[in-house]
Amino acid sequence: MADEIVYSSQDAMAVARAQAADVISLYVGKGGITAARNVAAVAAAAGLVCTVGSNLELGIGNAAMIHLAMATPAIDAETFPCDILSPFFYETDLLQQPLPIRAGEARPPSDPGLGVALDEDQLAFYRTDKT
């Protein structure tokens, strides 16, 4: 699996040309959903599959990762499960409603956009600049 080496579609092409991996791990935190989908498109064209990696994002990042996984055909979550793990490590995700993430299953919220709303009280509590 090519993981930390792939930040762009050019990186994915280099991995494919070198036949360096069979799987590419996508990260929303490495440039957003569009960049991850571009990497996935290159991977798919090269006959590679993808999964979603994690840097233990909070709620907004997790929502983006779920949407990415659901909307990207190159992601083979059945064979290579996605790393949407942070709900198992943090006390809060800074969202008004927690995402429906359980071991082995994640569903996208149905509200507009990423489908999440921030909890202003939690944001105020964790804010470092409390001026």
Specify the pairing of strand 101-102 against strand 105-106: antiparallel
Closest C-alpha to 109, from 53, 72, 59: 59
Q: Does a structural domain hold residue 24?
A: yes
Question: Does some domain include residue 26?
Answer: yes
**Could you tell me if 40 and 70 are in contact, meaning their C-beta atoms sit under 8 angstroms apart?**
no
Asked whether residue 1 is domain-assigned, the answer is: no
Where helices occur in the chain by DSSP H, the ranges are 9-18, 33-45, 59-71, 120-126
Give the C-alpha separation, 72 to 52, whole Å: 10
> So what's the pLDDT on residue 84?
87
* Angle, CA 72 vertex, CA 14 and CA 106 arms, to 5°: 120
**Packing angle between helix 33-45 and helix 9-18, nearest 10 degrees?**
20
Give the β-pairing of 49-52 and 23-26.
Answer: parallel
Task: Report pLDDT for 59.
Answer: 93
Q: What is the extent of the structural domain holding 66? A: 9-126
- Specify the CATH number for the domain of residue 17: 3.20.20.120
Q: How many domains does the chain have?
A: 1
Would 52 be classed as within a structural domain?
A: yes
- Mean pLDDT per block of 10 residues along the chain (131 residues) reads 94 97 94 95 97 92 95 95 86 90 86 94 87 65
pTM for the model stands at: 0.90
Domain annotation covers residue 60: yes
**The predicted structure's pLDDT at residue 131:** 65
